[in-house]
Structure 1
Amino acid sequence: MASPLDLPPVGLGTMGIDDPDVIATALDLGYRHLDTAQIYGTEDVVGEGLARSAVPREDVTIATKVWADSLAPDDVRRTTAESLDRLGLESVDLLYVHRPVETYDPDETLPAFDDRRDAGTIRAVGVSNFSRAELETAQAVLDAPIAAHQVEFHPLFQPDDLLAHAREHGYPLVAYSPLANGRAREIDAVVDIAENHNATPEAVCLAWLAAKEGVVTIPKASSAAHLRANLDAQDLELDPAERERIDAIERTDELFPE
């Protein structure tokens, strides 16, 4: 079953952003996917930025995540309401299970997410940092289709098995930390390709991800220049050999393990 969401190739990750004007600027530049989470402490910033922008609410996909200590059913209901209050919204487009650890129990947690969808407070259910086995369990329990799976994905960590699952089941893989947590300029292949295109290593990382079928990405940026550069990166075209060279990078450097 296909995802109910149509996510743009490049969205905005908001962890660490503390100025609502950054959000408003991003929207004015063309961002239409804003990603936050309860644990980030930025839901109020995202909500205020959205309120300051002239971009209509219905044109923007707003995603947030329930943290691992709040995945019991009553806590899902309570914290989702608190998230909506901080965001200043009646509903969000995408609500993720942030990590399937601590209070996560698929048979208890996931029906609570379905319940939020049935109640109209969320449009779609997502998961984040799941293994393939955890994805298959979630699919068996959920009434709703998995609308997105958010995972760490960059040249130094390439979860191809999870991408294969996403493609097989018709939902997008949402790549976080696409710039390898600031290490894009330390990856020789990426630097070489950037020089060939008179581009930045960061732009090459984003272009490489944007070229992958079924992948969207959510780099964080705060300045207008970096916000614009990340959007523009999706227009950088890497040739097949360049993409294959990045695909072949040793991929053992997971920056945010459980």
Structure 2
Amino acid sequence: MNSEKYISHTVMSLISAKGGVGTSTLTKELAIAFSKDVSVCLVDMALSCPAQETLFRILPTRTMEYLFKHKTGDLSPLSWQDLEPYLTPVPGRNIHLLSAKQVKGAYPLPLNRIIQLISSLKAYFDLVLIDTDMASTDVSAKLVELSDRALLVTDDTECSIKNNQRFRRLLTQKQISYDHMHVIANQIRKESQMYSDQEIEALLHIPVLVTLPYYDQVWKYNNSYLSLYEDPVSPLQPSLSSLVDRLFKLLEK
């Protein structure tokens, strides 16, 4: 354990109001990076398109939908014996994946179950890392509230910025603080950004933590199952390394 990089019993969520901006890829990369120093539980709540088991090339035997099947009305903390059958270890890494099935329509877990799940996982892992989407805005808003740090992922296009503006307004309407939220901006234009960091901050009222260049390179690494963070020749490695260092400092506070 690197004593200079240590966090404990912390929840961090990655959220985007627009699909295809790299949220799942970034969650995977952060899980790999943080697992070198702390234990990580990666919870895949991007239920419109769960991708973590594909990105890690593992096939969970059980998913979170069945975790509460026999716990009707019981909201007490889940024990390790309750959780372990649904957690899939990622080979060679200090990561456990809690996966989900793709769903359409009603979100399968009510908010009280999500609170129960996240608080229970937090007791057993240094970092609970959540990949989520807008399959349910109520769930995404609740995850922001439950997180010690929340990362809003966007690309530098008008569509993505407007969708994330709507989500930020939803948080305001629900009186959920986003003081602990930061923006990760993916730059999809090679020559220049459509919006600068300053413009994104002014539009979203949330500070930009980092801008990731060379966004088009992400798909090459997804297709080959390589890690952007671990490959020294990856064009994104310096930015990801800087992001991880900044997040460690924020989570240690």
User: What's the TM-score, normalizing by structure 1?
Assistant: 0.42
Higher relative helix content: 1
User: What's the TM-score, normalizing by structure 2?
Assistant: 0.43
